[in-house]
Chains A and B, each alone.
Chain A
């Protein structure tokens, strides 16, 4: 694997292979010495043009567990605020000798530009670009679902027949996009539920079914319900009347939680707006996988960095 830009690029076998390697990486976290020497001497740059807590920390932990050197770069307090272009930043990183660049950018497609421009000869990992994609999040979600469903016998399996309902701000969500492509590749069925104003144009072309009523979707007893964050920082228009109304119609509150089948998983990519798209009880219930998702994120990112950086020329 040269870059990881989109879950659309992954074949079923490749995706399952990443999940399997992540299983091995997860074992490392249970050991006394939580470190592997596989990426000794490699440099990973975390290039973050947008705020992030868990993704950046997760990539940093993943790179360090594989013994790579990590350079963290955030646009705030760097020369970007003086007007430096992406090209100059990339060439600077190339001159420093970065082997992989983990990039989060507010512009959709920025990682693709970096990968195709020839400004830098490093592996590029998309850690979230605008409203386009967030592939490692989708991989860790799939990993979390697979682990909950199959436990220690998860290796080699895909997600055939698993019914996943994704609820909320589909329009702005890169997590939803990456998940839809990956879930479909792995054989799962994705169902989207959102206010009509938060459904993107051109959704007819997506391999999903769409609904507008959360109660109906819960009555259909999905295996997994994934709540998306309301991204107020990207909302420059009135998509719904008030937060309270959104919460009443599309939030996973206590009443809806009680109607979910006992074995269904409640997922959220974080950060959560408790009381808006998800109630505190739902977020802290035994069905919730929110913290598992964070822990699994490190294993998935270790697997991705390993695949990108460990091998030489074939």
Chain B
């Protein structure tokens, strides 16, 4: 097993900065934006995006986290998972534009679960999706609106996203089964 680094700290920061601008461009400003990170690393990425957005247009972005454990379709196929906290900004999500933030977009099943979870929390005006890495192999008709890096991969490979807050280092690696 060899791990190859595909994104380093500077690449990740650049990608997040670009995504921030794209979010503002497509939303025409930061009004009504709610960034919801999907635990665990999606929450950290959402906070980083929030900080960058705050630097460009101070104030208007609210942050939260959305746990999708209870909505997964593979709950019964795996050992019991402990859920993570969900926190919704005090203003709620009704009428807002939600940007879901996750580290890796793969089968699309996590996002499907997130959409169902949002359904139980309120009725946003729109839901967008931002992912640091899109590795393909979708199993559902879902695509990301904002992508840090497209990383075509084979199913036998593993994509690891490491973030400083948890892992002590910022990098994305790809592990091949050669």
Contact A311 B81, CB 8 Å, known A24-B86, A37-B71, A38-B70: yes
Say yes or no: is B141 at the interface (Cβ < 8 Å to chain A). Answer: no
A181 at the binding interface (Cβ < 8 Å): no
Question: Is B168 an interface residue when CB atoms closer than 8 A count as contact?
Answer: no
Please tell me which one of the listed residues B70, B116, B121 contacts residue A32 in the complex, with CB atoms under 8 A apart: B121
Residues B76 and A310 in contact, CB atoms below 8 Å apart: yes
Q: How far is the CA of A38 from the CA of B80 in the complex (A)?
A: 11
Judge whether B91 is part of the interface by a CB distance below 8 angstroms.
no
The answer to whether B83 has its CB under 8 Å from any CB of chain A is yes
Provide the B126-141 mask, 1 if CB < 8 A to any CB of A, else 0: 0000000000000000
> Which of A20, A32, A37 has the most C-beta atoms of chain B within 10 angstroms of its own C-beta?
A37
The yes or no answer to B28 lying at the interface (CB within 8 A) is: no
Query: Size of chain A's interface in residues, with CB distance under 8 A?
Result: 23
Q: Which of A1-46 contact B (CB under 8 A)?
A: 1, 17, 20-21, 23-24, 27, 31-33, 35-38
Instruction: Check if A311 sits within 8 Å of B70, measured CB to CB.
Output: no
Q: Give Cα A312 to B82, complex, Å.
A: 13
Q: Are B76 and A21 in contact, CB atoms less than 8 angstroms apart? A: no
| Binary flags per residue of B115-127, CB closer than 8 Å to A gives 1, else 0 | 0100111100000
Main secondary structure of the interface of A (DSSP, over half): loop
| Count of chain B residues near A, Cβ 8 A | 21
Whole-angstrom distance between the Cβ of A111 and the nearest chain B Cβ: 21
Nearest Cβ in chain A — how far from B92, in angstroms? 9
Chain B residues with Cβ below 8 Å from A21 are 82-83
- CB nearest to B86 among chain A residues: A27
Name the residue of chain B whose CB is nearest to the CB of A20.
B82
B78 proximal to A (CB < 8 A): yes
Query: Is B79 an interface residue when CB atoms closer than 8 A count as contact?
Result: yes
Contact, CB under 8 Å: A310 / B120: no
Task: Name the A residues within 8 Å of B121 (CB-CB).
Answer: 31-33
Closest A-chain residue to B84, C-beta based? A24
Any chain B CB within 8 A of the CB of A59? no
Q: Which of A192-215 contact B (CB under 8 A)?
A: none
A300-314 CB contact bits vs B (8 Å, 1 = yes)?
Answer: 000000110011111
Given contacts A24-B67, A32-B122, contact A311 B76 (CB under 8 A): yes
Partner of B120, one of A33, A155, A306, A314: A33
In the complex, what residues of A have CB within 8 A of residue B69's CB?
Answer: 38
A252-292: which residues lie under 8 A (CB-CB) from chain B?
Answer: none
Q: In the complex the two chains form, what is the Cα distance from A296 to B69 in whole Å? A: 21
Least distance between A242 CB and chain B CB atoms (Å): 51
Which residues of the other chain, A, contact B84 by a CB distance below 8 angstroms?
A: 24
Q: Given the known inter-chain contacts A17-B82, A31-B121, A155-B85, please indicate yes or no for A312 contacting B70, CB distance below 8 A.
A: no
Within 8 A of A (CB), among B65-100: 67, 69-71, 75-86
Within the complex, what minimum Cβ distance (angstroms) separates A104 from chain B? 25
* Choice from A23, A32, A36 contacting B85 with Cβ under 8 Å: A23
* Closest Cβ–Cβ distance, residue A288 to chain B (whole Å): 28
Contacts of A314 in B (CB 8 A): 78-79
CA A187 – CA B144 in complex, angstroms? 47
13 contacts between A and B (CB under 8 A): A21-B82, A21-B83, A24-B83, A27-B85, A31-B120, A32-B121, A37-B71, A38-B69, A306-B80, A310-B80, A311-B75, A312-B78, A312-B79
Could you list 13 further interchain pairs (A-B, Cβ under 8 angstroms) beyond the known A36-B120, A312-B76, A312-B79? A27-B85, A32-B120, A32-B122, A33-B119, A33-B120, A33-B121, A35-B120, A37-B70, A38-B71, A66-B70, A311-B75, A312-B78, A313-B79
A contact set with B: CB distance below 8 Å: 1, 17, 20-21, 23-24, 27, 31-33, 35-38, 66, 155, 306-307, 310-314
